[in-house]
Structure 1
Amino acid sequence: MNINWYPGHMKKASDSVQKNLKLVDIVFELLDSRIPISSQNPQINNIVGNKPRVVILNKSDLSDQPTIRKWIEYFKEQGIKAIPVNAVSGRGIKDIINEANEQMKEKMERLKKKGIKNKPIRAMIVGIPNVGKSTLINSLAGKKSARTGNKPGVTKGNQWIKLRGNLELLDTPGILWPKFEDQKVGMHLAFTGAIRDEIMDIETLALRLVERLLKIAPEMLVERYDVNIEDLPALEVLNNIAEKRGCIIKGGEIDYTRVAHIILDEFRRGIIGSVSLESPDDI
């Protein structure tokens, strides 16, 4: 499955992030906790530079918890605080706010000594599209995001959103990289829905996901679909799931499109189980 996807607006977004960095105090890097490496822009260190950064491991409820703890330690070794978050439920949101205030504590103290009080901490979220940015913003704002509009000295068109904890967020689009050097990265992004199914061969994608789950979480396939997987290739397992779910068309043929949608949807929603597709042990 060949994936090479980099629309022009993504490059503009990346350029916009670099241009707007000077307007913010701290960067929130949003990753999918199931695939922290695949969902991380490999250019992020160059883009952000020495700007204070917090890694947000979103969709943590869909991930294997011991593996998330390994990722937290992995980023800690790089000097970066990583916070597991469920943006839908709001779990971990307070930790983000507290960490931003902690990292900006010295700067705020210096401003107070200069007579500048209650200056909001300005932040920016960067990350690839479709990893839950809008949901995260609404959770950080405590409501449907309320933009504060343009401010003096800010490039026309920049929107600031008031957050809890004396934070303001510069609303910028997500970013992606020019091409996938590693096809496994593209596959992981497709599994989790970061790449739209409309540009994918969805039947092959579901088959590849079954192959992956047979390696890392076979018991979840058995429990969810009540199928035999012993010594069977992925295609046979996929066929068994299709039969169990009634994905059969006229003439007794397998409806591969239908069963593919079922498997991908249930994986993405965590119905199959909490699965981490990547671990620091793999690096």
Structure 2
Amino acid sequence: MALQWFPGHMHKALKEIKESLSQVDILIEVLDARIPYSSENPEIAKIRGDKPCLKILNKYDLADPDITAQWQAHLESERGVSTITTSSDKPGESRKILDMVRQICAERDASVKAINAMITGIPNVGKSTLINILAQRTIAKTGNEPAVTKSQQRIRLDNGIALHDTPGVLWPKLENPNSIYRLAASGAVKNTAMEYDDVGFYAADYLIKAYPEVMQSHYKLEELPDTEIEFLEAAARKRGAIMRGGRVNLHKICEVLLNELQSGKLGRISLETPEMLVEEKREMEAAAKKKAEAKAKRKQRFKDGSQTPDKRDRKETRTEKRQEQSRRMKKNRR
């Protein structure tokens, strides 16, 4: 699936984040606990440097708890990174974020000046809701669709922390094709920027393999089909997603599947694991190497001329004439 969604305001927001990062003491990055890798902005990692970072795995109540624990261990293996899980149904737990910020910035906390924390996150990851919980009042506009926050704002909390809110941004180029699908499946991108059928097929293929019992039980199937198309057809019949003539409405059942996944009706589901990431990175490196080799070959063919023997002879003749002309000119100057 080709996903093109990097509006102008996102480019501007990313530039502003880079410019403001040097003025803050700690970076807080809100991730979707179901897709910690795919919802992690690689542009932020590039510019963070040695600045401490607290990664919040939000929507924990929707994610598989065992896999989330794996992700926390994986993320915390990186220097300067701490993690915490949060969910909107337990606002009291989210307040622990401020205690962690003060603990990480202990030296700054001892001074009279406020701790400056910048909070970032991709669209629809729940950042604005989290900010309102931390501020204990409605400050950030929330919405059930991506890209609600459009500009930076500074929020003074009542505990010596100044929170710099930033718009939700994706990044210019999504390298991992699997991440593109997971972002779409989790609801991180607008419905208009994705194709339900394409994303639905990807989600179905993953879910029947990773959570077979859940899928069979939820869609009341006597047995779970082996392929995503067979599963979607069976689920469509159970849900009445049938068109005239008895044909299955694949678009409709894909829409149903994605809506139930995003709302948590399927239960606590994670769409990626650290183990999957290792394999996917290996595949990406192999693909990048193959692409680089192909590019080098094209450049070499262009350099060599990729010519017929007759054209090569003419090229050699032209080269010899230029060399001879150069020798004569040098001789005449003496």
2:263 is aligned, of 269, 274, 279, to 269
2:13 alignment partner in structure 1: 13
Specify the code of the residue in structure 2 equivalent to 1:84.
Answer: T
Relative contact order, CA 8 A, sep 6+: which one is greater? 1
Q: Structure 1 CA distance, aligned partners of 2:225 and 2:152? A: 56
Specify the code of the residue in structure 2 equivalent to 1:96.
Answer: I
CA shift for structure 1 position 164: 5.0
Structure 1 residues 258 and 231 mapped into 2: Cα distance closer, same or farther (>3 Å)?
closer
Identity of aligned residues (%): 37
Q: Structure 2 CA distance, aligned partners of 1:276 and 1:217? A: 10
Structure 1 residues 21 and 267 mapped into 2: Cα distance closer, same or farther (>3 Å)?
same
2:204 alignment partner in structure 1: 210
2:237 alignment partner in structure 1: 243
1:139 is aligned, of 126, 133, 143, to 133
Check the 8 A contact 1:55/1:82 in 2, yes or no.
Answer: yes
Check the 8 A contact 1:26/1:51 in 2, yes or no.
Answer: yes
Q: Tell me whether 1:183 sits opposite 2:177 in the alignment.
A: yes
2:109 alignment partner in structure 1: 108
SS at match of 1:98: helix
Check the 8 A contact 1:83/1:92 in 2, yes or no.
Answer: no
CA shift for structure 1 position 158: 5.2
Specify the code of the residue in structure 2 equivalent to 1:145.
Answer: I
CA shift for structure 1 position 229: 4.3
Specify the code of the residue in structure 2 equivalent to 1:162.
Answer: R
Check the 8 A contact 1:266/1:272 in 2, yes or no.
Answer: yes
1:219 alignment partner in structure 2: 213
SS at match of 1:92: helix
Structure 2, unpaired ranges of 5+: 142-150, 279-334
1:200 alignment partner in structure 2: 194
Equivalent runs, 1:1-283 vs 2, <5 Å: 1-79=1-79, 80-90=81-91, 92-109=93-110, 111=111, 117=112, 119-145=113-139, 159-163=153-157, 165-282=159-276, 283=278
Q: Structure 1 CA distance, aligned partners of 2:187 and 2:78? A: 28
Q: How many pairs does the alignment contain?
A: 267
Check the 8 A contact 1:142/1:164 in 2, yes or no.
Answer: no
Q: TM-score, normalised by structure 1?
A: 0.88
Q: Structure 2 CA distance, aligned partners of 1:158 and 1:15? A: 11
Task: Describe the superposition over 1:240-278 as per-residue Cα deviations: whole angstroms up to 9, x where unpaired.
Answer: 111111112332222223222211111011111211111
Check the 8 A contact 1:4/1:180 in 2, yes or no.
Answer: no
SS at match of 2:137: coil
Q: Structure 2 CA distance, aligned partners of 1:43 and 1:158? A: 17
Structure 1, unpaired ranges of 5+: 112-116, 148-156
Check the 8 A contact 2:26/2:53 in 1, yes or no.
Answer: yes
Higher helix share: 2
Structure 1 residues 61 and 192 mapped into 2: Cα distance closer, same or farther (>3 Å)?
same
**Which has the higher Rg, Structure 1 or Structure 2?**
2
Q: Structure 1 CA distance, aligned partners of 2:189 and 2:152? A: 26
Check the 8 A contact 1:227/1:237 in 2, yes or no.
Answer: no
Q: Structure 1 CA distance, aligned partners of 2:15 and 2:162? A: 21
Structure 1 residues 146 and 225 mapped into 2: Cα distance closer, same or farther (>3 Å)?
closer
Q: Structure 2 CA distance, aligned partners of 1:212 and 1:176? A: 23
Structure 1 residues 146 and 10 mapped into 2: Cα distance closer, same or farther (>3 Å)?
closer
Task: Describe the superposition over 1:184-213 as per-residue Cα deviations: whole angstroms up to 9, x where unpaired.
Answer: 010110110111121211122112211110
Structure 1 residues 167 and 17 mapped into 2: Cα distance closer, same or farther (>3 Å)?
same
CA shift for structure 1 position 35: 0.8
SS at match of 1:83: strand
Specify the code of the residue in structure 1 equivalent to 2:116.
Answer: R
Q: Structure 2 CA distance, aligned partners of 1:267 and 1:56? A: 21
Check the 8 A contact 1:14/1:175 in 2, yes or no.
Answer: yes
Specify the code of the residue in structure 2 equivalent to 1:104.
Answer: C
Specify the code of the residue in structure 1 equivalent to 2:246.
Answer: G
Alpha-carbon RMSD across the aligned residues, in angstroms, is 1.9
Q: Mean alpha-carbon deviation: is it higher for 5-14 or for 60-69?
A: 5-14
Specify the code of the residue in structure 2 equivalent to 1:123.
Answer: A
